[in-house]
Amino acid sequence: MSNQQQSYTIWSPQDTVKDVAESLGLDGISDDVLKALAMDVEYRILEIIEQAVKFKRHSKTEVLSTEDVAKALNVLNVEPLYGYHDGSARDKDVTFKRVNVTGGQPVYYIDEEEVDLDKLINEPLPQVPRLPTFTTHWLAVEGVQPAIAQNPNINEIRTTIAPTTRGAIVSTLNANSLQSSSTNNAIAQNQNENNGNGQTSLPVTAVKPGQNTNVEVKPLVKHVLSKELQIYFNKIISALTSKENISDSSEHNSQQQHLKAAALTSLKTDSGLHQLVPYFIQFIAEQITHNLSDLQLLTTILETIYSLLNNPSIFLEPYIHSLMPSILTLLLAKKLGGAPTSETPEATNDFLEKTNALRDFAASLLDYVLKKFPEVYKSLKPRVTRTLLKTFLDTNRVFGTYYGCLKGITVLESESIRFFFGNLHNWARLVFNEQNLTLDECFDSETIINNKTKFTDKELFYLVDVVINAICVLKKDLPEIYEESNEDKKEISNETKQKLVSRTGVIIASQILKRDDTRQLVDAMFFGE
């Protein structure tokens, strides 16, 4: 048996290692040395290929490239190959040419194209690559996806992708509507398949009205709250709804006040309450709906709204439209706080002041919301103005509704106030019953003349006062260089007085003429005319 047949490797000592040794000028090497060198070369090549295959696998490619081999050589601390790192020869066919040399043994070599340096120098330069840039956009803000071009359109996702693929698009605000609509669509689709094919894939049961079926409809996705948030929510609700009783000790009432103050402070400062916001909004709406006779609880609810609005960590924009009906209800409600404890004038006046204070608080919250969210909801202020205008033009309202409406008008801008007071003369003529009153008669009277209106003297005083306060807002439109002299202040012509009466009515005009800033109010009302 020959030495070549006894070789245990794929390398032939006679053909490969011997040729390399002769090319280096080494002759007369024994076959045992050639065999040992061939086995070592085979081991080294397999080690390199194994490392290169690992790089190929991690690169998720199917073809072993020269870059993988170069990385393997680098890991093994071996000098890498040169000239193939850019992958320029990856897509080229490697062809070997044969050359017969003396001795009859052929030599194979790779045919490489010779590069002309003059041609290489005169070639045009490649285009300069673009600099790497980065752009950012908000995928979601506080769990709410903004409607921008970079984000997917929810309506398109809902209509084009099946729920089994995309999952359910349900939130705490639209879970019921989406559940009912998807249920109706599934039933309609089932019925269509039944009519067309004569077979039904799912059983459809028709429920008649009044039939007891014990069917429980569950939302597609539940809003999961942690145990800690549930305990926190229950504790806050318990602290806010606790009532003070006269029979309880002062220490117990003081402790309740302390817990309520701590709860409101927590709502104002804590940063991890965003998941509880829809639950607080629902709690506020329910308490206002069922407790309009409890002034203490209603005041606490307004304080809760104020605390949520002032929390910088809560994203309240999606819930403003759900919050506005609660504020407007306390501002325009027909009756708040039930009835006075007694029929005495002192108790009646005290009750009136408390209800007016509650409406003043609601008006201040309305002002805060309109100033804080003007850019988010551009339709918010027009909708509030429309509601106030509808209430203002209704002449059959009670005192509380008119007072809240006028307080709401006061927090609007001067342009909106001028728009409302374009109807002030007719409103005062009908509501204050001014048909038989004259300006001199009202001006000479020390008190406001109550010409058989449905309001008490105190209520009439409050209405006139809040109207004049709204007119005082118009003084902001006067130029900064405006100065009122004492001489001009005393001289209000009869023509101006009649013009004032035609704009505000007799009772309101008489009270304006009794003020120290009469000239300013008159100039502010007719500024620009």
Mind listing the pLDDT tens digit for each residue in 399-409?
Answer: 999 999 999 99
Tallying the residues shown for the chain, one arrives at: 529
User: Residue ranges of the domains in the chain?
Assistant: 1-87, 221-391, 413-528
Q: What is the pLDDT of residue 477?
A: 82
Task: Mark residue 306 as left, alpha or beta (left: phi above 0; alpha: psi -120 to 50; beta: remaining).
Answer: alpha
The per-residue pLDDT of the chain, averaged, comes to 79
Q: Check whether 331 has a pLDDT greater than 90.
A: yes
Q: What is the pLDDT of residue 140?
A: 76
Distance (Å, rounded) from C-alpha 87 to C-alpha 65?
Answer: 8
- CATH code of the region 221-391: 1.25.40.770
Q: List pLDDT tens digits, range 18-45.
A: 888 888 888 888 888 888 888 888 888 8
Q: Check whether 357 has a pLDDT greater than 90.
A: yes
Q: What is the pLDDT of residue 482?
A: 67
**Cβ-based burial of 450 (10 A; exposed 0-12, middle 13-18, buried ≥19):** middle
Task: Mark residue 200 as left, alpha or beta (left: phi above 0; alpha: psi -120 to 50; beta: remaining).
Answer: beta
At position 116, the amino acid (one-letter code) is D
Q: What is the pLDDT of residue 279?
A: 92
Q: List pLDDT tens digits, range 240-281.
A: 998 766 556 677 778 888 999 999 999 999 988 888 999 999
Beta strands in 72-186 (DSSP E): 96-100, 106-110
- Confidence grade of residue 14 (pLDDT, cut at 50, 70, 90): low
Mean per-residue pLDDT for 488-508?
A: 81
Q: What is the pLDDT of residue 223?
A: 65
Q: List pLDDT tens digits, range 512-525.
A: 888 888 888 888 88
CA triplet 8, 11, 12: central angle to 5 degrees? 90
Q: What is the pLDDT of residue 183?
A: 45
Comparing 378 with 223, the larger pLDDT belongs to 378
Comparing 54 with 337, the larger pLDDT belongs to 54
Distance (Å, rounded) from C-alpha 170 to C-alpha 156?
Answer: 15
- Confidence grade of residue 346 (pLDDT, cut at 50, 70, 90): confident
Q: Check whether 181 has a pLDDT greater than 50.
A: no
Q: List pLDDT tens digits, range 377-407.
A: 778 889 999 999 999 999 889 999 999 999 9
At position 225, the amino acid (one-letter code) is L
- Confidence grade of residue 216 (pLDDT, cut at 50, 70, 90): low
Task: Assess if CATH 1.10.20.10 describes domain 1-87.
Answer: yes
Q: List pLDDT tens digits, range 79-98.
A: 877 766 554 555 566 677 78
Q: Check whether 231 has a pLDDT greater than 60.
A: yes
Task: Write down the pTM of the prediction.
Answer: 0.60
DSSP 515: S
**Residue 18: CB atoms within 10 Å:** 18
Which of helix, strand or coil describes residue 303?
A: helix
Number of H helices, E strands in the chain: 23, 2
Looking from the CA of 19 toward its CB, the CA atoms found within 13 Å total: 10
Backbone angles phi, psi at 29, to 5 degrees: -85, 135
Looking from the CA of 468 toward its CB, the CA atoms found within 13 Å total: 21
Q: What is the pLDDT of residue 404?
A: 93
Q: Check whether 123 has a pLDDT greater than 80.
A: yes
Q: What is the pLDDT of residue 186?
A: 46
Q: Check whether 509 has a pLDDT greater than 60.
A: yes
Fold match between 1-87 and 221-391?
no
Cβ-Cβ contacts under 8 Å for 117 (sequence gap 6 or more)? none
DSSP letters spanning 13-38? IIIIIHHHHHHTT-----HHHHHHHH
Closest CA to 256 of 274, 242, 276: 242
At position 505, the amino acid (one-letter code) is G
Distance (Å, rounded) from C-alpha 41 to C-alpha 43?
Answer: 5
Which of helix, strand or coil describes residue 106?
A: strand
